[in-house]
């Protein structure tokens, strides 16, 4: 029988490898804020809050109806199960969870202790109000309407740690809306890899990819 380090999980996106227009800084993420995540992740389910920020003095802004994807990885490149909890949020914050599992029957490798990553991506558009009278860099056509912004947050994994606590969740319904507009946190198609000439464009209602990105020809 063949096993895979990601067989436990339905989706693997390798968000840390896609080509993006702008890389964020986890100490100043600009467009996303992560709160409530324990300093160290142990076995079990941990809840956290993902907030959509609205910076006032940025050349770019999150595109309305942008898909927002996130992915956890361990230091040995194993995907850690995560998703959006189905909760009713009225303050512009999505409640999410990450679950550290040990299931040797379905995975090739166990999640390794040490430093891992939480990668979040979204789609930016030009903030034209900021461009007046300035020579700001406009988002190239290749990245327009695609996943073009990424921010990577470091995480620490200590599987056998006791009392690694996280916020408790009491509600059971989630609406995919925030105070800044409608954003979908559902996982779906993502931007193509770095050798593509164009990014992936999404349907504004269902969020499905509606084009096939063209790959660049290899130089002889």
Q: Which residue has the higher pLDDT, 34 or 182?
A: 34
3-state helix, strand, coil in the chain (%, to 5): 5, 30, 65
CATH class of 22-157: mainly beta
User: Is residue 182's pLDDT more than 50?
Assistant: no
- Rg of the chain over Cα atoms, rounded to whole angstroms, equals 18
Q: What is the structure's pLDDT at 188?
A: 42
Q: Please compute the mean of the pLDDT values over residues 15-22 and round it to a whole number.
A: 94
Q: What is the structure's pLDDT at 171?
A: 43
Which pair of structure tokens corresponds to residue 143? 């990245």
CA dihedral 72, 45, 155, 158 (to 10 degrees): -120
| Contacts with 220 (C-beta within 8 Å, 6 or more apart), sequence order | none
Whether residue 113 contacts residue 100, with contact meaning beta carbons closer than 8 Å, is answered with no
CA distances from residue 139 to 15, 17, 151, 175 in whole angstroms, order as listed: 19, 19, 17, 30
Q: Kindly report the average pLDDT of the chain as a whole number.
A: 75
Q: Which of 139-143, 181-185, 199-203 has the highest mean pLDDT?
A: 139-143
Q: What is the pLDDT of residues 121-168, one digit of tens each?
A: 999 999 877 666 567 789 999 999 999 999 999 999 999 887 665 555
Q: What is the pLDDT of residues 68-112, one digit of tens each?
A: 899 999 999 988 988 888 655 556 678 889 999 877 445 578 889
Strand order in the sheet with 79-84: 22-23, 149-157, 114-122, 69-73, 79-84, 93-100, 44-52, 32-35
Q: What is the structure's pLDDT at 87?
A: 55
Q: What is the structure's pLDDT at 41?
A: 93
Pairing mode of beta strands 69-73, 114-122: antiparallel
User: Is residue 174's pLDDT more than 50?
Assistant: no
Domain ranges of the chain: 22-157
User: Is residue 118's pLDDT more than 90?
Assistant: yes
Q: How many distinct helices (H) and strands (E) make up the chain?
A: 1, 10
Q: Please compute the mean of the pLDDT values over residues 46-59 and round it to a whole number.
A: 85
CA distances from residue 186 to 58, 165, 190, 208 in whole angstroms, order as listed: 26, 25, 11, 11
């Amino acid at each position: 029988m063949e096993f895979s380090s990601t067989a436990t999980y339905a989706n693997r996106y390798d968000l840390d490898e896609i080509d993006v227009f702008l890389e964020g800084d986890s100490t100043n993420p600009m467009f996303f804020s992560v709160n409530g995540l324990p300093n160290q992740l142990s076995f079990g389910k941990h809840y956290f809050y993902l907030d959509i920020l609205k910076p006032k003095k940025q050349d770019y802004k999150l595109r309305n109806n942008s898909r927002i994807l996130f992915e956890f990885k361990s230091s040995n490149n194993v995907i850690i199960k995560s998703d959006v909890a189905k909760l009713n949020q009225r303050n512009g914050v999505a409640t999410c969870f990450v679950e550290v599992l040990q299931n040797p029957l379905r995975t090739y490798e166990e999640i390794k202790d040490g430093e891992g990553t939480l990668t979040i991506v979204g789609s930016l558009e030009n903030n034209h109000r900021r461009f007046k009278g300035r020579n700001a860099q406009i988002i190239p056509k290749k990245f327009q309407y695609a996943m073009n912004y990424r921010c990577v947050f470091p995480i620490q994994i200590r599987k056998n740690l006791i009392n690694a606590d996280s916020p408790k969740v009491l509600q059971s319904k989630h609406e995919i809306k925030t105070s800044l507009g409608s954003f979908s946190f559902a996982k779906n198609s993502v931007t193509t890899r770095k050798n593509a000439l164009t990014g992936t464009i999404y349907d504004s209602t269902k969020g499905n990819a509606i084009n096939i990105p063209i790959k660049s020809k290899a130089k002889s």
